[in-house]
Chains A and B, each alone.
Chain A
Amino acid sequence: MIQWVELVVFGLLFLLVTVLGFVASRWQSSGSSMDHLDEWGLGGRRFGAWITWFLVGGDLYTAYTFVAVPALMFGAGALGFYALPYTVVLYPIVFLPVLRLWSVSRVHGYVTPADFVRGRYGSSLLAFIVALTGIVATMPYIALQLVGLEAVLRTMGLNGTGFAGHLPLLIAFVILAVYTYQSGLRAPALIAFVKDILIYLVILVAVIYLPARLGGWSAIFGAAEQKFAQPNPTTGQPTGSILLTGNNQLQYITLALGSALALFLYPHSLTGVLASRGRDVLKKNMVALPAYSLLLGLLALLGFVAIAAGSKPITNNATGRPDTNTIIPVLFDGQFPDWFAGVAYAAIGIGALVPAAIMSIAAANLWTRNIYKEYLHKAASPQQEARQAKLASLVVKFGAVAFVLFVDPQFSIDLQLIGGVIILQTLPAVAIALYTRWLHRWALVAGWVVGMGYGLYLLYLIPNPAAGKAHFGGSALTLDKLTVVGWHPFAGSTVQIYVGFVALVLNLVVAVVVSAILHAAKVAPGSDATAGTDYHADEGSSRLKPVADTPVH
């Protein structure tokens, strides 16, 4: 049944951001044009502290986060709360490296992390690997934003079967694609204001109003504990717990740490960073962004609130299975008056559009700079680059829509899981390279190959009996299964660990050992286009490359 009040409120707010998306193309200083990647892809590289805060916040805390984290709490309990330590340790870890990356990118006009790797190591192969990893990791992430948006649309009653069921999503995405094409990064930057204000409003109301309605937090935790105590019909094990168990503590720690290390390796995070005006803007943001961490922690608890409220996930009519990602929309539907549920859905829906736009821009930048210009059209002018990136952003978005249309959404979720593991494998080439060039370029390639292969192999080994899957059943590896060429160092252990972390450790070991060998063998390390002082250049420095600088051929 269609919820008309919710749908009208949602529609009005969606219309507002659509207008903003198109208006954003007029928001630029006179004289600049969209004919340069600095303008279209990085918003002119001059966002101040406020815009950056909304943009990066809107970028990192996605619609998928808003539905998936509470859904994990709903399904598994305490483990889902890893989202809080993840975002607390995140900013202290990235504070210094992000500043160095901003400076070196501004001095040399780098648009993507792969551009930096290209300059630092003089290796187009290594840059290609980093770019490809970024694109592959980002694509399912965009598809998942659609899954979040569709969860909302289906809860509002637009739950058709087959192609008709996907039509509302398709329309929303065509609109998004057109204004992103037109306005570039400025569109999500402007819309992010609306998104974040709505999200804050909804979460604050939800965490104050709902517990009061449902008998307070003790009743909520009590209900959660009762639910988790019931054994799973398939495995006979308890479905979860409200405290960590001996088996999932290590998983909790490594998942929080691994996710924190991975986040700023994703190309879309760095797009937000490189679009900012200077180091001071970034530093202020590293102090202020944890405001979103509080929000995320509160939001996670809504997973337990949904248990207490007796919310049941909706069956997705396209796949015929209950979709736990609908748990938060269902909770809002059942507990809020219709008009406020509409606001809440708009918050999640618009929360999908902002990151989807930024991710598609980031993927388009990678394609254009590190594949198109590097291999297909070496002499591309800045105008041709910008044009290519705009077209690529369309391809990326419709690729993501096709994913949702023709592939089981579960596949996107699996791919996103894999995405986190593979993006971590670029850490040595991108993050460590900001500090030292000791790791040899060929050693980095070797580490990437081994880390990637081993990570995928371990993911393949993980079953999920509850979901009836034999492979790719999650990112929690039981140490018992950890093998090093047939040797099981932790045989019999039931302790779990995050796969991405294991693969990264192996990647680093290989990179260090191979580097030592290559240095001893005096293999040429390649040329470094960057100088030490590049990493500290700040706004106002004469070292910075002018924005939208057109090189003379």
Chain B
Amino acid sequence: MADRSGLRWSPWNLLLLVPLLMLVTPWFNTREPVVFGMPFFYWSQFLWVPVGVICVLTVYLRTKNDGVPFPDADPDVDDLDEGARR
């Protein structure tokens, strides 16, 4: 929920940290196992692309309606006027 500073928190957002694990290079900086002639270093990094997509997709689906289309949290008089017109 929005507080006065406008910060909101959803635990799902933590999923966005998962792809950062890809930056731990010692995990995959090896030649074996080779797949289709490609060292592990290369093909394993391609696998992180779907991991990143799934994490962002999950956060997207779980926080879909986080915007404030209407009614606004603290509309002033002018906003209320325009809101009535819609």
Which residues A525-553 have CB closer than 8 A to chain B? 531-543
**A249's closest neighbor in chain B, by CB?**
B25
How long is the Cα–Cα vector from A211 to B22 in the complex, in angstroms? 27
Which residues A76-116 have CB closer than 8 A to chain B? 78, 81, 84-85, 88-89, 91-93, 95-96, 103
Task: Answer yes or no: A167 CB below 8 A from chain B CBs.
Answer: no
A212 to chain B, nearest CB (A): 12
The answer on a CB contact under 8 Å between A536 and B66 is yes
User: Which residues of chain A are within 8 angstroms of B11 by Cβ–Cβ distance?
Assistant: none
The answer on a CB contact under 8 Å between B49 and A297 is yes
Interface footprint category on B: 35 or more
**A543's closest neighbor in chain B, by CB?**
B72
The answer on a CB contact under 8 Å between B2 and A536 is yes
How long is the Cα–Cα vector from A53 to B12 in the complex, in angstroms? 24
The answer on a CB contact under 8 Å between B37 and A85 is no
How long is the Cα–Cα vector from A92 to B16 in the complex, in angstroms? 5
**A538's closest neighbor in chain B, by CB?**
B67
The answer on a CB contact under 8 Å between A219 and B37 is yes
User: Which residues of chain A are within 8 angstroms of B26 by Cβ–Cβ distance?
Assistant: 249
User: Which residues of chain B are within 8 angstroms of A294 by Cβ–Cβ distance?
Assistant: 46, 49
User: Which residues of chain B are within 8 angstroms of A279 by Cβ–Cβ distance?
Assistant: 66-67
**B7's closest neighbor in chain A, by CB?**
A435
The residue that A243 contacts in the complex, of B16, B22, B36, B41, with Cβ under 8 A, is B41
How long is the Cα–Cα vector from A312 to B8 in the complex, in angstroms? 54
The residue that B49 contacts in the complex, of A78, A88, A243, A280, with Cβ under 8 A, is A88
User: Which residues of chain B are within 8 angstroms of A536 by Cβ–Cβ distance?
Assistant: 2, 6, 8, 66-68
The answer on a CB contact under 8 Å between B41 and A256 is no
How long is the Cα–Cα vector from A89 to B42 in the complex, in angstroms? 16
User: Which residues of chain A are within 8 angstroms of B42 by Cβ–Cβ distance?
Assistant: 81, 301
**B10's closest neighbor in chain A, by CB?**
A96
How long is the Cα–Cα vector from A532 to B46 in the complex, in angstroms? 39
User: Which residues of chain A are within 8 angstroms of B59 by Cβ–Cβ distance?
Assistant: 95
The answer on a CB contact under 8 Å between B6 and A91 is no
User: Which residues of chain A are within 8 angstroms of B5 by Cβ–Cβ distance?
Assistant: 436, 532
Task: Answer yes or no: A325 CB below 8 A from chain B CBs.
Answer: no
The answer on a CB contact under 8 Å between A92 and B19 is yes
Which residues B31-74 have CB closer than 8 A to chain A? 31, 34, 36-39, 41-42, 45-46, 48-49, 51-53, 55-57, 59-60, 64, 66-70, 72-74
Interface footprint category on A: 35 or more
Tell me whether A91 and B52 are in contact in the complex, defined as CB-CB below 8 angstroms, given that A286-B60, A535-B6 are known contacts.
yes
B35 to chain A, nearest CB (A): 9
The answer on a CB contact under 8 Å between A540 and B45 is no
A25 to chain B, nearest CB (A): 31
The answer on a CB contact under 8 Å between A287 and B53 is yes
The answer on a CB contact under 8 Å between B73 and A244 is no
**A539's closest neighbor in chain B, by CB?**
B69
User: Which residues of chain A are within 8 angstroms of B6 by Cβ–Cβ distance?
Assistant: 531-536
The residue that A96 contacts in the complex, of B16, B51, B70, with Cβ under 8 A, is B16
A180 to chain B, nearest CB (A): 32
The answer on a CB contact under 8 Å between A216 and B23 is no
User: Which residues of chain A are within 8 angstroms of B38 by Cβ–Cβ distance?
Assistant: 217-218, 221
Which residues A276-301 have CB closer than 8 A to chain B? 278-280, 283-284, 286-287, 290, 293-294, 297, 301
Task: Answer yes or no: A477 CB below 8 A from chain B CBs.
Answer: no
The answer on a CB contact under 8 Å between A221 and B39 is yes
The answer on a CB contact under 8 Å between A542 and B19 is no
The answer on a CB contact under 8 Å between A244 and B70 is no
The answer on a CB contact under 8 Å between B68 and A253 is no
How long is the Cα–Cα vector from A286 to B53 in the complex, in angstroms? 8
User: Which residues of chain A are within 8 angstroms of B64 by Cβ–Cβ distance?
Assistant: 280, 283
The answer on a CB contact under 8 Å between B56 and A95 is yes
Tell me whether A297 and B46 are in contact in the complex, defined as CB-CB below 8 angstroms, given that A217-B36, A220-B37, A538-B69 are known contacts.
yes
User: Which residues of chain A are within 8 angstroms of B57 by Cβ–Cβ distance?
Assistant: 287
How long is the Cα–Cα vector from A540 to B49 in the complex, in angstroms? 33
A440 to chain B, nearest CB (A): 16
The answer on a CB contact under 8 Å between B29 and A533 is no
**A284's closest neighbor in chain B, by CB?**
B60
Q: What are 13 contact pairs spanning A and B, CB under 8 A?
A: A92-B18, A92-B56, A244-B25, A257-B23, A278-B67, A283-B60, A283-B64, A290-B53, A293-B52, A537-B67, A538-B67, A542-B82, A543-B72
Known: A92-B20, A283-B64, A538-B67. 10 other contacts (CB 8 A): A85-B22, A221-B39, A244-B29, A279-B67, A280-B67, A286-B60, A287-B56, A297-B46, A541-B68, A543-B68
Chain A positions within 8 Å of B, measured between CB atoms, are 78, 81, 84-85, 88-89, 91-93, 95-96, 103, 216-221, 242-244, 249, 252-253, 256-257, 278-280, 283-284, 286-287, 290, 293-294, 297, 301, 435-436, 531-543
The 6 closest A-B pairs by CB, nearest first: A538-B67, A532-B6, A218-B37, A217-B37, A540-B69, A92-B16
